[in-house]
Amino acid sequence: MSVTAVRGNDALDHRGTPPPRSPEQRKRALGLDRGAWFLLAPALIPILVLSVGPLLYGISLAFTDAQAGRTTSTKFLGLANFTDLLHDSLFWQSFKIGIIWAVSVTALQFLMSLGLALLLNQNLRFRWLARTLALVPWAMPEVVVGIMWRLVYHPDAGILNKVLTQLHVIHQNVDWLTGLSVALPAVIVVGVWAGMPQTTVVLLAGLQNVPVELTEAANLDGAGIWRRFTNVTWPAIKPVVISVTALNFIWNFNSFGLVYVLTQGGPGGKTQLPMLFAYDEAFKYGQFGYAAAMGLGMVAVIAVLLTLTLRKKLNEETA
């Protein structure tokens, strides 16, 4: 056998096998190049200091008896805060209100945003103006939105009572934000109005990615509006719907500023969302450790609920 043939066989034996890399090449392949870390440092340091650091500190507080104004050292309690949390009826009442709030606001946001996105996706006159106006609530801070709606809901000078009285829907002024039976629905309306723009934008982007050829083909086949939506549009935007709904649920469940400005959790705790309850425990009663345990417990419960829900949705898609 010739040397050429042997070399040819060696080449065949090692075909497709990459040559051994030096340690420096392996570091670069793993993203461990010092130059890259140097460039990422300005972005990573604020995240570590302002996000990761406080998060880890808050988790550590959940296992202690940390309180405001204490002169004695903080003690490690283990799972004692979580045990107390399981038997705290006030917390579970706020958790129930938080679930009602998050589900209601998320569902109504989605339905109304989907209708608005479908409308804005049509070839209408002044569509650019309508899209711009639809984003107005998104540009307003939560505090401004809360103050504005407090004026709308004002029992004596509010425009809502005035309009409903002129339409003979109500016969006397309603105190929307302090009435035990109407406070939570009134706050839900504000939450839906404030959260619609971002949901509308996301759904509109999904609708614009629906293949026009499929819609035109379904139209030529005689499919009506509903059949075109269920057979063409909905399957195309379903992944977007799942993502935006999951994110909206997390954001709505963690709402604080809007409800705090509107009702501060009243009347009688009817709008006491879990974040408001934890805020009161920490900064009103000084129970930092217990409040941190509440936050950690809520994160765990919501993570489990979302994981089960998203897994079910993904299994339905792949089935």
pLDDT by residue for the chain (319 residues), tens only, comes to 444 444 444 444 444 555 666 666 665 555 556 677 778 888 889 888 988 898 899 899 999 999 987 777 888 999 999 999 999 999 999 999 999 999 999 999 999 999 999 988 888 777 777 777 788 888 888 999 999 999 999 999 899 999 999 999 999 999 999 998 999 999 999 999 999 999 999 999 999 888 888 888 888 888 888 888 888 899 899 889 988 998 899 899 988 999 999 999 989 899 999 999 999 999 999 999 999 999 998 888 888 887 887 777 767 666 6
Say which residues have a Cβ less than 8 Å from residue 60's Cβ, sequence separation at least 6.
none
Cis peptide before 197 (omega within 30 of 0): no
User: Which two three-digit tokens encode residue 12?
Assistant: 């065949």
Structure confidence at residue 27 (pLDDT): 56
**Coil vs helix vs strand at 137:** helix
Cα distance between residue 283 and residue 291, in whole Å: 9
Structure confidence at residue 110 (pLDDT): 95
Structure confidence at residue 316 (pLDDT): 67
Beta carbons of 233 and 207 less than 8 angstroms apart: yes
Helical spans, DSSP H, in the chain:
3-13, 23-29, 34-47, 53-61, 80-86, 89-120, 127-134, 142-152, 159-166, 183-208, 212-220, 225-228, 234-253, 257-262, 274-279, 288-318
Structure confidence at residue 60 (pLDDT): 92
As a whole number of angstroms, the longest Cα–Cα distance in the chain is 107
Cα distance between residue 206 and residue 285, in whole Å: 46
Beta carbons of 319 and 100 less than 8 angstroms apart: no
φ/ψ of residue 76, rounded to 5: -80, 125
DSSP annotation of 233 reads I
